[in-house]
Amino acid sequence: MKHFLLIFIGGGFGSMARYAVGKWLNTDNSIPYGTMLANVLGCFIIGLVMGYILKSNSSHQNLALLIGTGFCGGFTTFSTFALENQTLLKNGDFLHFFYYAFGSILLGFFAVFLGIFLTRFID
């Protein structure tokens, strides 16, 4: 039951943070920068958390559940990303679709790798 509570708490905070970032940055009908930032930042955070856990050679299951599964799961959103891309395509905005879709994927991968890499310098 404790594991579900950790995921629930982390997911709630992650969802609220994603909503706040979206309200702040998704202001026009071009690229949804709020969703993009949430997804890329979530990738970076999960990279940091998982890199730290792998580096520490100990079990930090609670940290992985609270931040990795809970917060990052609530903060990042594939469903919103997919819907926003569908809207861009439906509106014929192929250039913004290309930048948003491929930029999000590439930046997301880079952010995970960067997060894991940076844990080398954390004691």
Domain count, the chain: 1
Structural domain that includes position 98:
2-121
Two tokens at 12?
């709630």
What local confidence, expressed as pLDDT, does residue 65 receive? 94
On the question of pLDDT at 27 being above 90, the answer is no
Angle between helices 2-25 and 33-56 (to 10 degrees): 140
What local confidence, expressed as pLDDT, does residue 81 receive? 96
What local confidence, expressed as pLDDT, does residue 60 receive? 87
pLDDT in tens, 46-78: 999 999 988 887 778 899 999 999 999 999 999
Q: How far is CA 3 from CA 31, 56, 69, in A?
A: 36, 21, 10
Of 101, 100, 51, 41, the residue nearest 71 (C-alpha): 41
Average pLDDT over residues 74-97: 96
Of 81, 60, 44, the residue nearest 6 (C-alpha): 60
